[in-house]
Copies of this chain bind each other. A is one copy, B any other.
């Protein structure tokens, strides 16, 4: 009994990791349940033993992908304690390797426009992933008040997601490479930030 529970948990984990890769590679609408079960080496029928719906696995796969990315970027951030680590982390996120290997890249850039059209569970998971990645940047941001650093990190994270998305769209390699390197430079030289002056509050943000 215990063994079979362990097996089931291992199988669930295998499906989830495989789904996290497939959704980033082929999109949400472009990946059917049969596809992702096949990618995990399983038959379609077993899916509902582990997950309640496609929405559930999309939400969990998005979180899984973000955790995996955060861990790999955290390892880079931990390697250097100097100011240079912001460039290392941003440069790793905006690398040609991440652009060219969607299965191993940022879920918000690989699935961004599709995530925006999903239901509440998936959008909550994606939003949590965005905040998790943003929080990774906060301590790396140049000296400022904590609230300002948080805003600057949020702006930088959105800019990174946009640059990786566009670099994947653009077919001309030199332009695509330039997008990655220019955005890395803009963020790591600290020229890509919020103003740091106005308070970030609901009242302020709804005054537009």
By a CB distance below 8 angstroms, the chain B residues around A174 are 202, 205-206
The verdict on A169 contacting chain B, using a C-beta distance below 8 Å, is yes
By a CB distance below 8 angstroms, the chain B residues around A186 are 155, 192-195
Q: For residue A115, give the distance in angstroms from its CB to the closest CB of chain B.
A: 5
The verdict on A182 contacting chain B, using a C-beta distance below 8 Å, is yes
By a CB distance below 8 angstroms, the chain B residues around A198 are 185
The answer to whether A27 and B114 touch across the interface, beta carbons within 8 angstroms, is yes
Q: For residue A113, give the distance in angstroms from its CB to the closest CB of chain B.
A: 5
A contact face: mostly helix, strand, loop, or mixed? helix
Considering the chains assembled together, what is the distance between the CA atoms of A21 and B113 in angstroms? 14
| Known contacts A158-B159, A206-B174: A182-B165 contact under CB 8 Å | no
Interface string of A159-196 (1 = CB under 8 A from B): 11111011011111011011111111110010111110
Count residues of A near B (Cβ-Cβ below 8 Å).
65
The answer to whether A158 and B179 touch across the interface, beta carbons within 8 angstroms, is yes
A151, A157, A161, A179 interface centre (most CB from chain B within 10 Å): A161
By a CB distance below 8 angstroms, the chain B residues around A155 are 159, 163, 182-183, 186, 192
The answer to whether A205 and B185 touch across the interface, beta carbons within 8 angstroms, is no
| Known contacts A112-B166, A127-B171, A169-B123: A27-B205 contact under CB 8 Å | no
By a CB distance below 8 angstroms, the chain B residues around A206 are 174, 177
List CB contacts (< 8 Å) of A97-131 with chain B.
108-117, 120, 123-124, 126-127, 130
